[in-house]
Structure 1
Amino acid sequence: MESRAWLLLALLGFFLFAEPGFGQKGNVDISEWMRVKDEVIKSLQDRLTNVEKCKIDGDTLEARLNATKDELTREKAETDKLKEEIKGLNTRLDAAEKEIDKLKQSSDTTAPQIAFSVSLANFGDIYRGPCTDKTLVFKRVFANAGNGYDLNTGSFTAPVNGFYYFSFSTYGYNTHTIGAVLLKNDILQISTYENPSVDGSDSSSNAAVLQLAAGDKLHMELWDNGQVFDNLNGHTTFSGFLLFPV
């Protein structure tokens, strides 16, 4: 506004101090000169008003542009953040897909089928013991998937590394100690045991989960001076199967 006032004063001075005789030239009188002056001043005022309006509009537009720039900056920051989140999600998705592929591959791989179940007698009534060779050779084979059990030696050989479940039962009469022991590579693992009693007969059983390496051998043996009995009813038995390979 201050510059506008100075401009108007300068223009007014121009008209006031115009060359001598300006107001008396020709037939132009002072009133006409004043009218022209007023029109010029009004025109200049209108132009100044337009300039100031343009300046205000320019300032407004600049403010809007700055606001738009700030908004775009915020949106870019949010977009970058979303990109990082999407990147993280994609990473986790890739890891999940790989894990699923591993599970599919493991499920597609058929686990070894290993299981056996045998009893001591395959005919008639059989007593085993007391004897020097205390190994029990179970002759009646109910199942032998994987061929881990050897019918000739009475031993089971682990075909693969893994965790195995074994169980056995023993039956006998009161004339001798009743029971047997399970040995892994000739080392005692678990057993059954009954002293001779007056009730005529006794039976017992036991079970265990053992970790075996491929080639480990298990077999059953009588106790010293022990005896067991079996017939086709399957009183004295030995069983095992692979829980899962490792």
Structure 2
Amino acid sequence: MMKVLVVLMLVCSVYTNEIKTLSDQQPCLQDVHAALREITASLAETRLEVKYLQAENKEQAVELEDQQTEVEKLKKQQQVQQVAFSASLWSRGKNTFGPFTEHTTLIFKSVLTNIGDAYNQNTGIFTAPVKGAYQFQWYIGARGGSVNTAVALVKNSEVTYMAYKEQAAGYVITPQAVSVILKAGDVVFLRLWPGFKVHDNSNHHTSYSGHMLFPM
């Protein structure tokens, strides 16, 4: 009987200890669950922040691309605005052109400046790269007995202004300048009138210049 009682007491003791252990573990399990919930909430918040940052970075990338495009446009506009040329009829020595029996385009082959490459030294033709206001100046020299010279600025096929001079003898220089509105692709050149002549030498008395004032 005594042995049974001892065994029962041991069983009760073990059972009591297990109950106590479970009871002690219960708060720990609650803390773990609470921590897990907190971590889960934190991860969800982090995911939202990451999505927001990704969206914000995408917007910034689009804005940066737009800014780069705008910068490229401004660079191109700046390059287009840089249009200017200056050339003389003869580079060295001296020579007289004309008189001819028909209208003749003067080709100014000695190019000093050709910013924007709008002037063609092989044809003597200036081609407007964009619509805008342009200014042209030309100085025409002539020499000899009965000095007659007449050179007109032609826009496409229309005569705009003419530099004209008649003199009994000697050497003359007649200047002219004009501002015109050109569309992209319009051409401008100087035309020597039939029966007249021009002269040039290493001093470049006969010259032709132009530049864009502003785009439109």
TM range (shorter): 0.5 to 0.7
Contact preservation (8 Å) 1:176, 1:225: no
Displacement of 1:107 after TM fit?
7.2
Matched, 1:128 2:94: no
Residue 170 of structure 1 is matched in structure 2 by 140
Residue 115 of structure 1 is matched in structure 2 by 84
**Greater relative CO, 1 or 2 (CA 8 Å, sep 6+):** 2
% identity of equivalent residues: 36
**Aligned partner of 2:127: which letter?**
T
Residue 78 of structure 1 is matched in structure 2 by none
**Which structure is higher in strand share?**
2
CA shift digits 1:178-232 (9 cap, x unpaired): 131100002111111111324x111110101100001000111112210010011
Normalised by the size of structure 1, how large is the TM-score? 0.54
Q: Which has the larger radius of gyration?
A: 1
Counterpart of 1:205 (choices 175, 179, 185) is: 175
Task: Indicate the SS of the match to 2:78.
Answer: coil
Unaligned ranges ≥5, structure 1: 1-103
Normalised by the size of structure 2, how large is the TM-score? 0.61
Contact preservation (8 Å) 1:180, 1:192: yes
Counterpart of 2:195 (choices 218, 225, 242) is: 225
Q: How does 1:176-191 map to 2 (within 5 A)?
A: 176-191=147-162
Q: Give the superposed CA RMSD.
A: 2.0
CA shift digits 1:8-43 (9 cap, x unpaired): xxxxxxxxxxxxxxxxxxxxxxxxxxxxxxxxxxxx
Partner Cα distance (1:192, 1:164) in 2: 18
**Aligned partner of 1:233: which letter?**
N
**Aligned partner of 1:158: which letter?**
A
Partner Cα distance (1:181, 1:229) in 2: 15
Displacement of 1:141 after TM fit?
0.2
Contact preservation (8 Å) 2:93, 2:202: yes
Partner Cα distance (2:110, 2:166) in 1: 27
Displacement of 1:133 after TM fit?
5.2
Partner Cα distance (1:228, 1:139) in 2: 15
Partner Cα distance (1:186, 1:224) in 2: 16
Partner Cα distance (1:111, 1:139) in 2: 24
Task: Indicate the SS of the match to 2:148.
Answer: coil
Contact preservation (8 Å) 2:103, 2:194: no
Partner Cα distance (2:147, 2:194) in 1: 10
Task: Indicate the SS of the match to 2:165.
Answer: coil
Q: How does 1:43-54 map to 2 (within 5 A)?
A: none
Residue 164 of structure 2 is matched in structure 1 by 193
